[in-house]
Structures are given as C-alpha cells and as structure tokens.
Amino acid sequence: MSMRCPLPARASFRDLLRDLLGREVQVRPGTPQELDPELCSYLAAYRFDEGDVAALVVTDLQLSTSAAASIAAMPPGETWSEVKAAGKLDEELTEFLHEVVNVSAKLMNSPTTPHVVLRDHLPVPGEVSEDVGELAANPQVRHDWLVSIEGYGNGMVTLLG
C-alpha cells in the first residue's frame, strides 16, 4: 500500500473552516457517511506531487452547499432550496466548494511526508480513478464528522487516508 498523508484533527479542521468562512463552525464526531447513488456528494482527491493518491475528503450535499454558500455569502435558505431541487451544486457553487477543499490541502501536509495538493474534485456518484476507488474502499484511517456552519446548517464530511 502506498504512503498516505496525515489526516487533520477535528480542531484543526474546525479552525481552518472558521477562519476561511468567517463564522462559527462546530465539528463533532458523526456516524459513518454512506454514499447513496440517489444523492449527490463531492469527493476531493489529494495527491502527492508525484501523483500517488494521498487522502480523500467526501462532503455530503448539505455540507457542500453550506460551505460553498457561506464562503460566497449567498443566502442560505434560498441557496439550499435551489440545490435541493436540482439535486446537485450549480457551476458557481461547485467553484466555491473547490476553493474550500483546495485550501484544506494545507491540513494534509506535514514536514515528515511528501507535499500534497488537491488534484481532483468530483461529484459522487461518478467516475473515479482506480487508485482513488482503492483508497475509498480500503482506508487505513477514517474520520466521519458532523460539521455545523453558523447560519448555514449541518452536513457530513468523511476523511479517508
């Protein structure tokens, strides 16, 4: 099995989101997120500079919407209604969510491991590379957290390494 990067602690993840979004954020242990082929979620694949998969982050549709709408200062209720009706993020919200998961890459880096960057940000269900699928199916470490963003609601995030 290839090397993986360290996954962040809950407090570090909370602090990064709080600083990035400019509002109160809570991160608590959650139940394992089960991917439902009927519901869209978003997968961020982080890779070492040479290309090997290092870690994955999966956000459910609610957290994806909350984080994207919050960073863009969009109205939470109206934005969630539109996303819920569409069943996925629109292009603009996807770009805002990409910014959140891209900044989160700094939490995956350590002085004792090779450099990690965000390489893929994909809707799930969807096509993923074989190495991403392998890590998703057989992680060495897994964190499932319930994230609450003040004024924007709750959602689930799963970190796999």
Q: HEC string of 53-118?
A: EEEEEEEEHHHHHHHHHHHCCCCHHHHHHHHHHHCCCCHHHHHHHHHHHHHHHHHHCCCCCCCEEE
Residue 5 lies in a domain: no
Residue 145 lies in a domain: yes
Q: What is the pTM of this model?
A: 0.93
pLDDT of residue 39: 84
Residue 3 lies in a domain: no
pLDDT of residue 1: 43
Residue 156 lies in a domain: yes
- Tell me the residue range of the domain where 29 lies: 10-160
Residue 4 lies in a domain: no
Instruction: Report the distance separating Cα 141 and Cα 80, nearest Å.
Output: 31
The number of angstroms, rounded, from the C-alpha of 36 to the middle of its chain's C-alpha atoms is 16
How many domains is the chain partitioned into structurally?
1
Q: At what angle do helices 91-103 and 10-21 cross, to 10 degrees?
A: 130
pLDDT tens, residue by residue, 99-150: 999 999 999 998 888 999 999 999 998 888 999 999 999 999 999 999 999 9
Residue-averaged pLDDT of the chain: 93
Residue 115 belongs to a domain with what CATH number? 3.40.1550.10
Residue 1 lies in a domain: no
- Mean of pLDDT values over 148-153: 97
